[in-house]
Amino acid sequence: MTSRILVLASGSGSLLQALLDSPVGNAVVAVGSDTPDAYALTRATETGIAAFTVSPADFDTRADWNAGLLAAIRAVEPDLIVSAGFMRIIGAEIVEAYRGRIINTHPALLPAFPGAHGVRDALAYGVKVTGCTVHFVDEGVDTGSIIAQTAVIIEPDDTEDSLHERIKIQERRLLVDVVTHMIGAQ
Ligand code: GRF
């Protein structure tokens, strides 16, 4: 049975693109976002795969938004959900429904520097080595069990952007490797 991968993304989607350009690309059946103008959605439509938006602005409460996202996810019938730059916390209802089948990529060496500003926080702290982490999603923020990590040396002249771009080079490779092993094993 061919695996069905759903990618969730809020931004430019360069990690999504890495998956699409890889051998697992043809298993990506849909891209979902919380942001209507996310370029990740454009990448999906240009590739000819389904793209949907579940925007918090369309819901009265976060619980309603989570229910809306869960309904959109169920409609895709994914075997694996990949959060690749999805900047919302996935609610417990969704985590429970897909436990063990949702992974996230984070631009820091968890458990260090969790949250929405991992790159900036690592720079501000003054660590010499940071990196990226692919982990299972649980009910916490970047707290699920770790699958794989890659270290990235911080250069003295690094800015948040220069460091993040170097981390993303490793994230793209790591994410493709992890997803390939996860669906290849099925
Ligand atoms: C990645 O670094 C991811 O870890 C973080 O947001 C970035 C997404 O990059 N949460 P892109 O939108 O795939 O280029």
CA dihedral 100, 174, 152, 162 (to 10 degrees): -110
13 lines ligand 1 (CB under 6 A): yes
Q: Say what the pLDDT of residue 184 is.
A: 79
Would the CB of 11 count as within 6 Å of ligand 1? yes
Q: Say what the pLDDT of residue 1 is.
A: 58
CA of 51 to the centre of ligand 1 (A): 18
User: Which pLDDT belongs to residue 53?
Assistant: 98
Q: What is the CATH number of the domain that holds 100?
A: 3.40.50.170
Give the Cα-Cα-Cα angle 48, 67, 47 (nearest 5 degrees).
10
What is the best residue among 20, 90, 171 to mutate for testing ligand 1's pocket, by most ligand atoms within 8 Å of CB?
A: 171
Euclidean distance between CA atoms 104 and 138, whole angstroms? 10
pLDDT tens digits along 96-109 = 999 999 999 999 99
Domain total in the chain: 1
* Mean pLDDT score, 73-93: 97
Residue numbers annotated as active site: 106
Is the per-residue pLDDT at 186 higher than 70? no
Q: How far is the CA of 54 from the centre of ligand 1 (A)?
A: 19
Residues 6+ apart with CB under 8 A from 36: 53, 55
| pLDDT tens digits for range 31-65 | 999 999 999 999 999 999 999 999 999 999 999 99
pTM of structure: 0.96
Q: Whose CA is nearest to atom 2 of ligand 1?
A: 107
Secondary structure of the chain in HEC code, one letter for each residue: CCCCEEEECCCCCHHHHHHHCCHHHHHEEEEEECCCCCHHHHHHHHHCCEEEECCHHHCCCHHHHHHHHHHHHHHHCCCEEEECCCCCCCCHHHHHHCCCCEEEEECCCCCCCCCCCHHHHHHHHCCCEEEEEEEECCCCCCCCCEEEEEEEECCCCCCHHHHHHHHHHHHHHHHHHHHHHHHHCC
Query: Tokens 């790591």 label which residue?
Result: 174
- Per-residue pLDDT, averaged over 71-100, amounts to 97
User: What domain range is 144 assigned to?
Assistant: 5-183
The arithmetic mean of pLDDT across residues 64-71, rounded, is 98
Residue closest via CA to ligand 1's atom 5 equals 85
Residue nearest to atom 6 of ligand 1 (CA): 85
Backbone angles phi, psi at 89, to 5 degrees: -80, 125
* Interaxial angle between packed helices 160-184 and 118-125, expressed in degrees from 0 to 180 and rounded to the nearest 10: 130
Pocket flag, ligand 1, residue 172 (CB < 6 Å): no
